[in-house]
Structure 1
């Protein structure tokens, strides 16, 4: 951890007795989809159980494919049934119904916390941590922690969201960011005191460091792989332009895009217009096989927290070319290729270097793997969370 404060955490209402030995933790996230945050929460939940800590995973809206990864782990899963709220100018009746459903989900959360009596509630992502803080107060949970997993760009200019976040952060004992860039933005945007936030980087399990059998892909060209949701902020349009530039320079490649999202139709049209070989594979659960097949892994994001896709490529020694945004420089400095965002020329230059200078690509891939083995293992990530929870619980019991 970095930046752990020595002063007392924000008080949680009530005078309920606090157990001094950490034995019960609840984690909270929206659902168990294939995103990076969900992967880290599942990993943390399993690790807490391995430490002998009774662990409950609260799902705000629903389950998802990562639930299979918790089978037989001893983690208890509870779904709260929140559906989200329709914009009022679209359907007022539906909005009122959804608001009532959200209130019922909040009531179920409070009731569950009162029954389960966790010592620590750790909530991840915006909608969860703004619900978790007041629920923890009402249920007299001793320690409430909020997780920050990405930059707060989505809140810029949204005064209501920022106001709600500041209020709920005031009810929260501590904030954990997964990258120094994420922590710095939270400090700036939310006005957090420095002694109320720490950085614990994402972790990877032993299996993430094993090279899988390469996926079958019908192409004789070098393969460039990008694993990212097809959303504007991931910068795919600049990547496709970079691939076109590479082709014009005589370096034809096959670009494989794993992920799904609203930009898919636009990207399909752009690829056809540019005349480049792009394979859009949608959501996949066999990403390790495609990492093993790739010559280079690329992430062209315009903004980023701490990319699991970059970490997974580093873990098996693949050379990575990525934009220098968010927490990515923390991962790739001195063992990857960093380029400015929204710059297809620079992106093409970086890719060309890795595709043509095989010695440099191998050297950077090896250095990335060695760094990941030392700094990004799951055991270390879980241990640091356990140490933080214990520290906060002790401070609470001392008051």
Structure 2
């Protein structure tokens, strides 16, 4: 039997999808699969796909027509192409739609054959279709005209895909509503922190400035829809606690300057510490983890917090309730009062924190392992490749 070859495609590359592709590449290579990862160059520097044994093809920035050409060349001879996220799926479908030796336009998603039925790039034999798998890791919420464009792209890409994998039941249902012929639940478990992690590590707390006060931890891109405005509203109500808790937010994004201005103006006990590569260690030092997002599927923060036994307060949105079960305090999105009460209640109740810590570890034990996640994806590839 010939060696299976797959191409993994990333667009902007969220932390969840990028980590998943790193895990997937490593596991597939270990099983004898040839893996090529196509992604912006900076993602290889962060996630080391080459170190996982994959071939790496750097893609030009999003919006550059050369991206589709580079993808087209990388996908020649592939048995299965797997795109992660909407932008990656758009470009992969365009690349696979181009006739052999032709050039796909990177600027249009309507007209032509780019989204007319399943992706139809030439296979290794030159006469069949190259199956396209697309994974929906999360769901963005856009309003107005941008929301309309997003829905159009979702419809076109799911119809171009042979199989759509959703990381939560909500995403699977959404793909089916958009017209997917084959949409399946494929919970993604990203790698757990490597090596020992010490809970309530004194060194980490000292670095963050929370030796003699409660430490709250949030992690994620500083972007709209992540709920940080609501989180700062809640932080105002914790100022009467003695000692006052310190809220630390790890992540970068376009909203950083606005958030920092508000923190300074209102004198909030909040620190923005930027992007970190030791998030697991910092999270393990926290008394409570907070996830205030508007949209989440299989949140990295939620997974890491429950694995580590760190009590979690999260919004009851998307795939979060399905992911955490009864092992977290859930509140409505945008409700600062409910968020503040839930955090305050945990800080004042050590027994409840211990119960949630134990429940979190039990819940994490019900999730598929990395190995099971890789095996499931490989079974989809084998099915589509007729192996």
TM bracket (short chain): 0.7 to 0.9
Instruction: Write the deviation string for residues 308-333 of structure 1: whole angstroms up to 9, x where unpaired.
Output: 11111111111100000111111222
Task: Using structure 1 for the length normalisation, give the TM-score.
Answer: 0.82
Which of 338, 344, 348 is the matching residue for 1:346? Answer: 338
The answer as to 2:162 corresponding to 1:173 is yes
Instruction: Write the deviation string for residues 181-215 of structure 1: whole angstroms up to 9, x where unpaired.
Output: 22222333x1334xx11111121335358424732
For residues 49 and 71 of structure 1, do their structure 2 counterparts lie closer, same or farther at Cα, with a shift above 3 Å needed?
same
The answer as to 2:303 corresponding to 1:325 is no
Q: Which moved more, 1:245-254 or 1:229-238?
A: 245-254
Which of 230, 249, 258 is the matching residue for 1:238? Answer: 230
Instruction: Write the deviation string for residues 226-265 of structure 1: whole angstroms up to 9, x where unpaired.
Output: 0011112011111111121122355610000100112222
Q: Separation in 1 of the partners of 2:3 and 2:239?
A: 57
For residues 208 and 179 of structure 1, do their structure 2 counterparts lie closer, same or farther at Cα, with a shift above 3 Å needed?
farther
1:339, distance to aligned residue in structure 2 (A): 0.4
For residues 277 and 376 of structure 1, do their structure 2 counterparts lie closer, same or farther at Cα, with a shift above 3 Å needed?
farther
Instruction: Write the deviation string for residues 329-356 of structure 1: whole angstroms up to 9, x where unpaired.
Output: 1122211100011011100111012212
Q: What does residue 187 of structure 2 align with?
A: 201
Q: What does residue 25 of structure 1 align with?
A: 6
Q: What does residue 149 of structure 1 align with?
A: 137
For residues 65 and 386 of structure 1, do their structure 2 counterparts lie closer, same or farther at Cα, with a shift above 3 Å needed?
closer
Task: Using structure 2 for the length normalisation, give the TM-score.
Answer: 0.84
Q: What does residue 132 of structure 1 align with?
A: 92
The answer as to 2:30 corresponding to 1:50 is yes
Find the residue that maps to 1:267 and give its secondary structure: helix
Find the residue that maps to 2:42 and give its secondary structure: coil
Structure 1 unmatched runs, 5+: 1-18, 86-100
Which of 137, 161, 185 is the matching residue for 2:174? Answer: 185
Q: What does residue 265 of structure 1 align with?
A: 257
Q: Separation in 1 of the partners of 2:333 and 2:195?
A: 28
Find the residue that maps to 2:254 and give its secondary structure: coil
The answer as to 2:217 corresponding to 1:225 is yes
Q: What does residue 42 of structure 2 align with?
A: 63
Q: Separation in 1 of the partners of 2:9 and 2:49?
A: 15
Kindly indicate whether the alpha-carbon contact (under 8 Å) linking 1:150 and 1:305 is maintained by their aligned counterparts in 2: yes
Q: What does residue 113 of structure 2 align with?
A: none
Kindly indicate whether the alpha-carbon contact (under 8 Å) linking 1:122 and 1:146 is maintained by their aligned counterparts in 2: yes
Q: Separation in 1 of the partners of 2:369 and 2:144?
A: 33
Greater percentage in helix: 1
For residues 38 and 323 of structure 1, do their structure 2 counterparts lie closer, same or farther at Cα, with a shift above 3 Å needed?
same
Number of corresponding residues: 352
Kindly indicate whether the alpha-carbon contact (under 8 Å) linking 1:299 and 1:321 is maintained by their aligned counterparts in 2: yes
Instruction: Please tell me the root mean square deviation across aligned C-alpha atoms, in Å.
Output: 2.3
| Structure showing greater relative contact order (alpha-carbon pairs closer than 8 Å, 6 or more residues apart) | 1
Structure 2 unmatched runs, 5+: 97-119, 124-128
Find the residue that maps to 1:139 and give its secondary structure: coil
